[in-house]
Amino acid sequence: MPLQDAAAQAKKLRREIEQHNHAYYVLDAPTIPDAEYDKLFRELQALETEHPQLISTDSPTQRVGGKPLPGFAPVRHAVPMLSIRTETDTEPSGARAFDARVRRELGLSEGDPDIDYAAELKFDGLAINLRYEDGVLVQAATRGDGETGEDVTQNIRTVHRIPLRLHDCVPPVLEVRGEVFMSRPDFERYNEKQRALGHATLVNPRNGAAGSIRQLDPAMAAERPLSFYAYGLGEVRGWDLPATHSAVLDALAACGLPVCEHRAAVQGADGLIAFHARIREKRDALPFDIDGVVYKVNSLALQQRLGFVTREPRWAVAHKYPAEEALTTVEAIELQVGRTGAITPVARMAPVFVGGVTVTNATLHNEGEARRKDVRIGDTVIVRRAGDVIPEVVSVVMERRPMKDLNHPLHPPFALPKTCPVCRSSVERPEDEAIARCTGGLFCPAQRKGALLHFASRRAMDIEGLGDKLVEQLVDNAIVKTPADLYKLGLLAMANLERMAEKSAANIIAAIEKSKTTTLARFIFALGIRNVGEATAKDLARHFGNLDAVMAADVERLQQVPDVGPVVAASIAHFFAEPHNIEVIEQLRAARVSWPDGAPSAAANSPIAGKTFVLTGTLPTLTRDEAKDMIEALGGKVAGSVSKKTDYVVAGAEAGSKLDKAQALGVSILDETQFRELVRR
């Protein structure tokens, strides 16, 4: 292709690929299939290979990372990257104190109006300054000491959420400040993959983000799943500044930069307190870590008037939440056996208050992880609890380790036993896996208890009242050995259990009886097949239509099910090849546990097949799970957040921000009555 034509085509491809990148990484609304994206990317690569002079710094092909660097060059910030004051008082009085200081500095009396504030999240990542010249990213630098940071441009180019060229925004200079972070789901997925390969894992999402950006090899940074949110400005030339901080963020979003949706313009101390409380309630559900919120005087003119004191702005403050990391000591290392036989070392610790609760134990994940961190009895450790995440030991404070003498620790390294601590069956660890497993199966009481709890869980057979303590009694007294035994229980046997009243026993028997009628997807999920979660169980039910077809399918046929790969297919085939599993299923059928069969892909003709729904608020008569089941039974999908790819939002009372976003995007909104009419068509 002639150079002139190649240049025009390359420019067109770059713009198109970045539009798809923005839709995928920022809006969570993919616009084309992956295969089509790859085709466009390869076409651009071919053009740039044929004409190397066409390669530009804003080309999507430059995101893969360049050659390893000898070190990071220093970058002098044109506008200092100063830190903000931290309010450690986590109560409402912390917000009131900030508001009182601002009013005092502005000379306001009690009778003067409330101040307008911008309230946003305090991300737990790495602060970055992005310098765009004429709309193109030319440099990225860390905060450093506030005056001088490090040039990390190559690594920042690998973060797909950061645009290499701004959208219709070409001021001579626009420095954007924000946070590079790693979401909790991405962090867990990355670590799980690393454990499976026997490689080192990341300590926590914050260290993962900071360590990734400070990798001297950009190719390694490109492998890490990093995200970014913009929250402010550095040097600006030739760009009309809006009047408020909130409007600045809106303008940055219009330029194609990701800006967090969890922000608000509020009035006075009461508005700050309400925002702090609202985010605290949502904190556990956020897909990323925060350690507080940030309050800023919204008016840029008032910010300038307030100025700085000791290198901190008077017009902003970080209002913290309780710490999620703390120091404690390891008193013992015990082993837990899960329902699939997975053996997990658990550190039993001196009680410590962290993440809003008192923690006494923390997972060490597996033998490799325990040995890599070298956690031993008597060690002082940093323990972390974020939201609903199981507490984990982050690292050991080596200088506090108990020692026999100068060179010999008091306690030996952790070692996994060769037999199960519960049933004494042998322990196996496949070469390609990080997790060791007990081979005892249902013979092992620990696996039996786990299997029964999973079988009775809410998203499986939903047997109300069958919890940990009751299952423990049933297994320890040899009353129940398999899920089928639950349906043989009589009122007398239940009532004779310790601390079991006759009425409670009758309620549980009734719940067991009620669970006999279920769905095929729930039943498959309840069986506890390794690597088969709720979504895969639904895919299997939709694809095959009946259990016998699933049981008869070989690995090749199983891989024809959407999202079922070789590992999952092998797990399913292995499960149904075991005679004792077939026997349990036949016993359940004999006990009249039933589910309606359907033709494969029976939901294909449904008006909601393939449609994406978001549920928000409280519906008058349906629970969220009931509505979700109705949607999925007809081939629809339920998402957790609203985007351009959302087809319907089902909204109840107190719907909140999801409803607002749906209205802004023009997404169809249904109340419960309209929803029921749609699914009945």
What positions carry a catalytic annotation? 122
Contact 312, 85 (CB under 8 A): yes
Q: What is the spatial distance between Cα 669 and Cα 681, in angstroms, rounded to a whole number?
A: 17
Q: What is the spatial distance between Cα 440 and Cα 268, in angstroms, rounded to a whole number?
A: 62
Short-list 315, 324, 264, 316, CA closest to 290: 324
Q: What is the spatial distance between Cα 242 and Cα 251, in angstroms, rounded to a whole number?
A: 8
Q: What is the spatial distance between Cα 505 and Cα 107, in angstroms, rounded to a whole number?
A: 68
3-state secondary structure of 175: strand
- The DSSP string of 527-569 is TT-TT--HHHHHHHHHHHSSHHHHHH--HHHHTTSTT--HHHH
Contact 290, 263 (CB under 8 A): no
Q: What is the spatial distance between Cα 444 and Cα 520, in angstroms, rounded to a whole number?
A: 27
Q: How big is the chain, counted in residues?
A: 681
Q: What is the CA radius of gyration of the chain?
A: 29
Q: What is the spatial distance between Cα 519 and Cα 538, in angstroms, rounded to a whole number?
A: 10
Short-list 98, 1, 103, 89, CA closest to 43: 1
Q: What is the spatial distance between Cα 350 and Cα 426, in angstroms, rounded to a whole number?
A: 31
Bridge partners for 174 per DSSP: 132, 236
What does the DSSP 8-state code read for residue 517? B
Q: What is the spatial distance between Cα 179 and Cα 228, in angstroms, rounded to a whole number?
A: 6
Bridge partners for 129 per DSSP: 141, 177
Contact 20, 37 (CB under 8 A): yes
3-state secondary structure of 627: helix
37: left (phi over 0), alpha (psi -120 to 50) or beta: alpha
Taking each helix axis from N to C end, the angle separating 624-633 and 672-680, rounded to the nearest 10 degrees, works out to: 20
Q: List CB contacts of 193: < 8 A, sequence separation 6 or more.
A: none
Q: What is the spatial distance between Cα 302 and Cα 355, in angstroms, rounded to a whole number?
A: 36
Cα-Cα-Cα-Cα dihedral of 406, 407, 409, 410, to 10°?
-60
Phi, psi at 82, each rounded to 5°: -85, 150
Which runs of E-coded beta strand occur in 573-677? 612-616, 637-639, 648-651, 668-670
Q: Tell me the one-letter amino acid at 99.
A: D
Short-list 515, 517, 518, 510, CA closest to 494: 510
What's the 3-state SS for 320-333?
Answer: ECCCCEEEEEEEEE
Short-list 435, 431, 424, 456, CA closest to 340: 435
**How far is CA 6 from its chain centroid?**
41
